[in-house]
Amino acid sequence: MAAKTKKKARAKKSASREPLAVALLKKDHREVEGLFKKFEKAGSGSEKLNLFKQIALALKVHTKIEEEIFYSEERGEVEDDMLDEAQVEHDGAKHLIAEIEAMKPGQDLYDAKVKVLSEYIKHHVKEEEQPGGIFAQAKKGDEDLNEMGERLKARKQQLMAQMA
Ligand SMILES: [Fe+2]
Ligand SMILES: [Fe+2]
């Protein structure tokens, strides 16, 4: 328990040194990971449905603010191939989300599709967060990531209100 608390405190400390845009996007990643974990433990269909709604909303808003603001403004700072692949991965995730939204918990492949979505997102998040990845390259660039963070935050609030 003590070790866990210590680890948490360290993670928090390193997150606070990040420029705001990166800190916010990473926070979104951790939130979605938590929701996927809860989904795995969910017992009833209604619990799963409720959690999936939260996952879908979080992912739709997150991918939109990344595409509209972060990816688009990081063109030229981050390698084109990486941004292109990230966009294709977003599109793949959205497609899978739509498939799951058209289903009901308990149906064949429902749980499998949610699991595959979580693995897909895990892979994508790694590409963004790993050393030399999208966030690392963005931090080396000239964009003001603190100012961008304010805009990401405002757009997220707007989209959450619209899409919820
Ligand atoms: Fe992304
Ligand atoms: Fe992301």
Domain ranges in the chain are 17-163
pLDDT digits (tens, 9 = 90+) for 34-49: 999 999 999 999 999 9
**Cα(134) to centroid(ligand 1), Å:** 9
**Cα(97) to centroid(ligand 1), Å:** 15
Quick one: pLDDT at residue 6? Answer: 47
**Cα(1) to centroid(ligand 1), Å:** 32
Mean pLDDT score of the chain: 92
| Dist CA 29 CA 81 (whole Å) | 22
Quick one: pLDDT at residue 16? Answer: 57
What's this model's pTM, rounded to 2 decimal places? 0.89
Residue 57: CA atoms inside 13 Å, Cβ hemisphere, count?
A: 16
| Dist CA 39 CA 7 (whole Å) | 24
